[in-house]
Structure 1
Amino acid sequence: MTFEQLRTFLWVARLGGVRRAAEQMNLSQPAVSARIAALETALGAALFDRAQSGMRLTKRGEKLLGYAEQIHRIQEDIKADIVDPAGLEGQLRVGVSETVVQSWLPEFVAELRAEYPQVDVEITVDVSHNLRDQLLNRSLDLAILMGPISESSVNNIELPAFDLVWIKAPSLHFDGPDEDILRTTPVITYARNTRPYHDLKVRLLERHGGEVRLFPSPSLSACIRMVATGLGVGAFPEHLIRDQIESGQLEVFDPGWRPDTLRFTASYLGEPKSHLAERAAHIARNVAVAHMG
């Protein structure tokens, strides 16, 4: 019996099948199956009931799962307390919301690489809803998204929030109060399946009914460029557009209200415990606080 066999057993048990465990561990399915078979041979016990719907633990398998989880936690504690971060190898799969990509992501990756130079960092950029699903199905180790995630299996570390301001191109002129701008001009905003889009749509419908036209886009940088060229107005994180406002490329206006502040978390699964994911979440918070100061 080896640590790698127990680790493989733990992933098959948690994910319910060889295929998903193989994807999680970057192994072939035959390699995972061979490790499970060797472990069963070493223990002289069947650990899984095989069925078309998946692999279910036997009674002995359930007993072994508790021991395997204890051993995994001890290994992670050793990584945290004993192993030099510079020598730690592995892969960290990080999902990031577009707003963070446009803000402090480069500094985060640089800090992570400085502390863990042997760890391969894989970045996925997506909307928060999809990042949440990918974290829960274990396709990601860490998700930096609009949170928190309410599931009990997830640990959330709060990050600095982004306040939104209404902006337009300086060349875009209107007669009448600023509030009327939203009735007559397209509102460029986040993608449809995002919280900012939903919240903004509800607020605009409450105030202006069906008169408002929303132009959603998954690209935050594209949204801001479209506003700068006068194609519409929008509400975006002030932190991201401060330079364009100061240089006169964009202009703030006040329709009498602002959309809700965007709140972010660095979220990771509590089980199986991952020292690397937990440490990366704390690095994200430190970098975000320093960047947005």
Structure 2
Amino acid sequence: MTFEQLRTFLWVARLGGFRKASDRLHLSQPAVSTRISNLEDELDAKLFERGPGDLVLTKQGQQLLGYAEQLLYVEEEIKHRVANPAETEGLFRIGASETIAQAWLPLFLQAFSVKFPRVNIDLTVDISLNLRAAILERRLDLAFLMGPISEYSVKNVALPQFDLHWYKDKQLGPIDLSEIPIISYSSQTRPYRELTSELARRVGPKLRVFSSASLSASLRMIAAGIAVGPYPRVLAVRHLEANEIEEFDPGFIPPPLEFTASYLAEPRSLLVENGAEIAREIAIDWHRTHQN
């Protein structure tokens, strides 16, 4: 019995199938099947039954799962305590919201690459709703998103908040929110729901709210005088420096955007835990120098 067999068994059990495990482990499906078959032969026990959809653990498989998690946890501890991080290899799948991507994500990638120079990074930039789904489906290892993810299996590391500021085309005069559209985040996000709820109460039936998953496109619409809206200052910097937009006060400010570094707590990965901690430190430093 080897660590590789146990690791393969663990991922087949966690993901519920050979194909999903082969994608996660970057192995061919026959290689995964062979490892499981050899493990079953060595233990003289059937570990999986074919269910209506995914594979289902047998009683012996359930027993082995607990031991496999313990052994692989010890392996992670050894790597963390003894091994040189610079020798760590593998693929690290990171997801980030556009706000993070335009703020401190490049600094994080630089710091992470310095500590883990042999780890390859696969980066996804998307809305938080999709990043959440990717974490829960194990398609991402770590995500920087509007959180937290309220699932018992997810660990959320709090990151600094982003204050929101209202922006308008600099050529526009005083703003009446009942006469010009407001543009916000995607309609599937919490900021959009909170903003539309508050504005409906303040503005009434004349309210018009646009939504866009592309924050850069939203700021271009504001700069063109099509709409106004509240966004983190980091997204507006280019347009502010070009003297295209300016901040204004409509009488209220939406609550700050809350972000987390979120990942599945089991099976434990010290690479992911290190990544989340590096992100927290980088984000704190960035906000200390950039947030006003």
TM-score by length of 2: 0.94
**What SS class does the counterpart of residue 172 from structure 2 fall into?**
coil
Residue 190 of structure 1 pairs with residue 169 of structure 2: no
Separation in structure 2 between the aligned mates of residue 58 and residue 215 of structure 1, nearest angstrom: 51
Bigger drift between 75-84 and 246-255 goes to 246-255
Residue 145 of structure 1 pairs with residue 140 of structure 2: no
Separation in structure 1 between the aligned mates of residue 186 and residue 60 of structure 2, nearest angstrom: 48
Q: Which residue identity does 1:83 align to in structure 2?
A: A
Q: Deviations over 1:94-141 (max 9, x none)?
A: 110111111111111111111111001111111111111110111110
Residue 160 of structure 1 pairs with residue 160 of structure 2: yes
Q: Which runs of 5+ in 2 are unaligned?
A: none
Hey, what does 1:255 align to over in structure 2?
Answer: 250
Separation in structure 1 between the aligned mates of residue 242 and residue 50 of structure 2, nearest angstrom: 65
Residue 201 of structure 1 pairs with residue 201 of structure 2: no
Q: Is the 8 A contact 1:7 1:68 kept in 2?
A: yes
Q: Is the 8 A contact 2:15 2:21 kept in 1?
A: yes
Separation in structure 1 between the aligned mates of residue 35 and residue 52 of structure 2, nearest angstrom: 20
- 1:188 Cα offset (Å): 1.8
Q: Is the 8 A contact 2:183 2:228 kept in 1?
A: yes
**What SS class does the counterpart of residue 60 from structure 1 fall into?**
helix
Q: Which runs of 5+ in 1 are unaligned?
A: none
RMSD: 1.4
- 1:243 Cα offset (Å): 6.0
- 1:227 Cα offset (Å): 0.9
Bigger drift between 21-30 and 90-99 goes to 21-30
**What SS class does the counterpart of residue 35 from structure 2 fall into?**
helix
Q: Is the 8 A contact 1:239 1:292 kept in 2?
A: no
Q: Deviations over 1:64-106 (max 9, x none)?
A: 1111001110111112111111110011101101111111111
Residue 96 of structure 1 pairs with residue 96 of structure 2: yes
Hey, what does 2:214 align to over in structure 1?
Answer: 219
Hey, what does 1:12 align to over in structure 2?
Answer: 12
TM-score by length of 1: 0.94
Bigger drift between 136-145 and 22-31 goes to 22-31
Separation in structure 1 between the aligned mates of residue 180 and residue 197 of structure 2, nearest angstrom: 17
> 4+ residue runs of structure 1 moved beyond 6 angstroms?
none
- 1:242 Cα offset (Å): 4.6
**What SS class does the counterpart of residue 281 from structure 2 fall into?**
helix
- 1:54 Cα offset (Å): 2.4
Q: Is the 8 A contact 1:89 1:118 kept in 2?
A: yes
Number of residue pairs matched? 288
